[in-house]
Amino acid sequence: MEKRDIIVIGTSAGGLSVMTRLFAGMSTGTTATVFVVMHISSGATSLLPRLLERAGWLPAFHPAEGDLIRPGHIHVAPPDHHLLVREDRVLIRRGPRENRTRPAIDPLFRSAAVAFGTRVTGIVLTGMLDDGTSGLRAIQRCGGLTVVQDPDEAEWPGMPANAIARNRIDHVVGLDAMPELLARLIAEPAPERLPVPADIVIEARIAEKEFTTMADDTKAVGSPTTLTCPECGGGLSKIADGPILRFRCQIGHAFSPDTMVETQTEAVETALWVALRTHEDRVEMFRHLAEHARKRGHERTAVGWDERGAEARSNAGLLRRVLSNAALKEGLEAKG
């Protein structure tokens, strides 16, 4: 009889200490097959398997493309690669980034939901924004269970809070209570598998592709918009995923609501800084032109350049105030 022995975990900021505590609290007599995605820099050398193994629960490793899944092990996503599963094997792919990250949590969760259905328990721990929210919904739609760290105790509550706000989570628990909960869930018989929704299958397969266009797949799960992809500039389609509205381009880049808002905010700020630099350059240019005109006795021309310089200086001041107010607002939001 199959059990709920497939555990998929997604975390970001603050994730190492949280997972170390979680695994240290697990009994060595409780065995599961575990897959972990933690957001890390693409250029980093990952020591995560070694650090997680020190917690004393299960051996951990970075799997390679095509490796057989190892029951009783922790499979850790390597830097700059999505960790995916299909049947009895692991897929390590440099497919399109999702929520501006690779590895991303949602692709792992979807692939596990397709491969293992009711055997899966998805866990979202501390982290910013909302990666993992859509993946938990996929797990739930395929009959799996969802567990989220209590946001009130999370170092970075964004990911847990968004998962709770946009899903019907089965268990919201503090970290100290999670090992006992997982031990109980792992021992439970898995219900009969449910049919996998076609849209989840399609999106799971998108993450597996690396250099192939996903235009047909994206059209199959979404509808076109006039928005453009912040990653590649291509057209974005919107995907209505229950209460969640997500976006995906024909290359396969995908964005959750919070990630899309943050990306556009950064784009606006970048444009404002470019505009400020351009206006400051214009102030300097008009000053040189006015000085040159005066030296040649062309006072009327110099006055014209002075007026244009004053206009550029005024515009630069306005942009500085906008950027200053945006920075102040961001600081206040960061403080809670």
Express each pLDDT in 153-167 by its tens digit: 999 999 999 999 999
pLDDT at position 268 is 84
Which of residues 333 and 295 earns the better pLDDT score? 295
Confidence of residue 64 (pLDDT cuts 50, 70, 90): very high
Last residue of a domain, one of 255, 288, 314: 255
Residue 328: pLDDT above 60? no
Q: Give a yes or no: residue 280 inside a domain.
A: yes
- Which of 309, 311, 323, 310 minimizes the C-alpha distance to 276? 323
Q: What is the mean pLDDT of residues 54-74?
A: 97
Same domain? For 158 and 170 the reply is: yes
Contact (CB, 8 A) for 312 and 332: no
Radius of gyration of the chain (CA): 25
Same domain? For 248 and 279 the reply is: no
Same domain? For 12 and 123 the reply is: yes
pLDDT at position 232 is 87
pLDDT at position 89 is 97
**Helix or strand or coil: residue 2?**
coil
Same domain? For 145 and 63 the reply is: yes
Q: What is the mean pLDDT of residues 44-50?
A: 85
Q: What is the mean pLDDT of residues 198-215?
A: 83
Same domain? For 160 and 122 the reply is: yes
Q: Other C-beta atoms within 10 Å of 275: how many?
A: 16
48: CATH: 3.40.50.180
Lowest mean pLDDT, pick from 8-17, 116-125, 261-270, 288-297 = 261-270
Q: What is the mean pLDDT of residues 287-292?
A: 95
From 5, 39, 130, 217, active-site residue:
39
Instruction: Give pTM, 2 decimals.
Output: 0.84
pLDDT at position 332 is 44
Element (H, E) at 317: helix 299-334
**Catalytic residue check, 39:** yes
Residue 279: pLDDT above 50? yes
Last residue of a domain, one of 255, 283, 307: 255
pLDDT at position 336 is 45
Q: Give a yes or no: residue 201 inside a domain.
A: no
CA distances 281 to 278, 287, 312, Å, are 5, 10, 9
Average pLDDT, the chain: 92
pLDDT at position 335 is 47
**Crossing angle (nearest 10°) for helices 133-141 and 198-208:** 130
Q: What is the mean pLDDT of residues 158-186?
A: 97
From 12, 134, 237, 256, active-site residue:
12
Same domain? For 68 and 176 the reply is: yes
Same domain? For 231 and 118 the reply is: no
What CA–CA distance (Å, rounded) separates 49 from 20?
A: 11
Residue 212: pLDDT above 70? no
Q: Give a yes or no: residue 318 inside a domain.
A: yes
- Which of 194, 14, 205 minimizes the C-alpha distance to 107? 205
From 106, 130, 131, 241, active-site residue:
131
Same domain? For 161 and 76 the reply is: yes
What CA–CA distance (Å, rounded) separates 38 from 131?
A: 11
pLDDT at position 211 is 61
Q: Where are the alpha helices (DSSP H) in 117-154?
A: 133-141
Q: Give a yes or no: residue 60 inside a domain.
A: yes
* Domain extent at residue 70: 6-187
Q: Give a yes or no: residue 192 inside a domain.
A: no
Q: What is the mean pLDDT of residues 93-99?
A: 92
Contact (CB, 8 A) for 220 and 239: no
Same domain? For 68 and 136 the reply is: yes
CA distances 163 to 114, 264, 306, Å, are 20, 22, 56
Contact (CB, 8 A) for 167 and 136: yes
Contact (CB, 8 A) for 125 and 18: yes
Residue 334: pLDDT above 60? no
Number of domains in the chain: 3
Last residue of a domain, one of 128, 153, 187: 187
Same domain? For 231 and 136 the reply is: no
Same domain? For 16 and 106 the reply is: yes
Q: Give a yes or no: residue 200 inside a domain.
A: no
Sign of CA dihedral 197, 199, 204, 209: positive
What CA–CA distance (Å, rounded) separates 18 from 154?
A: 9
Q: Give a yes or no: residue 136 inside a domain.
A: yes
Give percent of the chain with pLDDT exceeding 90: 74
pLDDT at position 41 is 78
Same domain? For 251 and 293 the reply is: no
Confidence of residue 1 (pLDDT cuts 50, 70, 90): confident
**Catalytic residue check, 62:** no
Q: Give a yes or no: residue 206 inside a domain.
A: no
**Catalytic residue check, 306:** no
